[in-house]
Amino acid sequence: MKNLQSKIIISDQFSTFLSLFGDIFFDRKSESVVVLCDQNTAHYCLPALQEIIREKGLVWNVFVMNAGEEFKTLHQSQEMIQFLLQTGATRNTVLINLGGGTVCDLGGFVASVYKRGIPFLNLPTTLIAQADAAIGGKTGVNHLTIKNLIGTFHAPMAVGIFPQFLQTLPQQHWKSGLGELFKYAMIGADISLQAISALQPNNTQPLTGVIQEAVRFKTAIVDADPFEKGPRKVLNFGHTVGHAIESLALENNLGITHGEAVAAGVVAETYLSVEALDLNSSVLNKVSEFFLQHFSIQPELTEDPARLLQLMLHDKKNRSHDAIQPVLLSQNGEPRVNETVSQELITRSLVFLHELIQKRGG
């Protein structure tokens, strides 16, 4: 079976980044390049990429998708596929995903199915995508408001991470990235909550270090378990509750970013860990404090535990339809997978989260 390894380049120097990234094209006989971006990355990030593509003398086309999670759909994928067809893309065409997790997930999915698979590169432009979404080879789109219901495993040939892209990221999406880093801090990456709190988009040195550590941590886990049979599941900490909140937001047109939802999920799943596995309650206090300091979530999203429970029952991480299995933290803080938690306890964790969110509002 194939693995999901990709060449990963991280540099906060633009010239180094350009030349390393350009060398990847130089290495292969690509016939043409299609760039997938959204309206924002077309504006802020595409001009930098144009330089390399022109320099290599490649034929290239650009597809600009609508920005935002609500466009991570099969319909948008079909439009992209139609564009590839119209522009004569072959199996030797390289797709470059220039954007956040939405662009990388959707573009990776299209690359995995178009003509049974074409090569692609990820050039992540959000904190979530640089620290997490662009690596590891999970692709996907949402369906009927269920997150990532349709997807594949298909690794990019390479991932080029240039932290300076983050300087134009809106505050809400910067915060979203902090949510995913919050998860990494809790599951054993060498990233402290203090280090996350101190990050600034324009202070690229510490930022590059934290992204490097998240990438190192994730890569080691993905290499050991590419298709999520066991250990890779730990990367889903915070996501059982987080995905349910995101799905509810999609259903009701309520705005929340992926990372904000994951941060809320980290709180609820830490609560579950205290109750189910005797994790020290001081961890929950620390986690709650960090959450209150950085995130502000609409209380409407957590006021109906029964609906959130229903959405959680769809989670791909469950082994059966009526058993909910969030990732938990054991007594010594290490992540544990395949632990079934009662619906009554999950309801209590959601009530705890809701009260915390109301506290933030008040």
Ligand X SMILES: NC(=O)c1ccc[n+]([C@@H]2O[C@H](COP(=O)([O-])OP(=O)(O)OC[C@H]3O[C@@H](n4cnc5c(N)ncnc54)[C@H](O)[C@@H]3O)[C@@H](O)[C@H]2O)c1
Which residues contact ligand X by CB under 6 A? 38, 40-41, 44-45, 67-69, 72, 99-103, 105, 125-126, 128-129, 132-133, 136, 138, 147-148, 165, 168-169, 173, 176, 257-258
**Measured between alpha carbons, how far is residue 290 from residues 170, 195, 237, 272, 360 in Å?**
21, 12, 16, 17, 12
Of 176 and 208, CB closest to ligand X: 176
Exposure b/e, 244-267, CB count within 10 A at least 16 = b: bbbbbbbeeeeebbbbbbbbbbbb
Of 128 and 146, CB closest to ligand X: 128
Torsion of CA 181, 187, 189, 195, to 10 degrees: 50
Pairwise CA distance, residues 316 & 325, whole Å: 10
Residue showing the smallest CB distance to ligand X in the complex: 101
Of 133 and 329, CB closest to ligand X: 133
Residue 237 has phi, psi (to 5 degrees) of -55, 135
Of 147 and 233, CB closest to ligand X: 147
Smallest distance from ligand X to CB 102, Å: 3
Of 175 and 336, CB closest to ligand X: 175
Mention every residue, 6+ apart, whose C-beta is less than 8 A from residue 234.
187, 188, 221, 327, 335, 337
Of 42 and 276, CB closest to ligand X: 42
Smallest distance from ligand X to CB 101, Å: 2
Mention every residue, 6+ apart, whose C-beta is less than 8 A from residue 123.
21, 45, 49, 96, 97, 98, 99, 134, 159, 160, 162
Smallest distance from ligand X to CB 332, Å: 26
Residue 314 has phi, psi (to 5 degrees) of -85, -5
Smallest distance from ligand X to CB 276, Å: 25
Written as one string, the DSSP assignment of 316-344 is: TT-SSTT-B---EE-TTS-EE-S--B-HH
Of 30 and 130, CB closest to ligand X: 130
Smallest distance from ligand X to CB 180, Å: 6
Smallest distance from ligand X to CB 151, Å: 8
Smallest distance from ligand X to CB 173, Å: 4
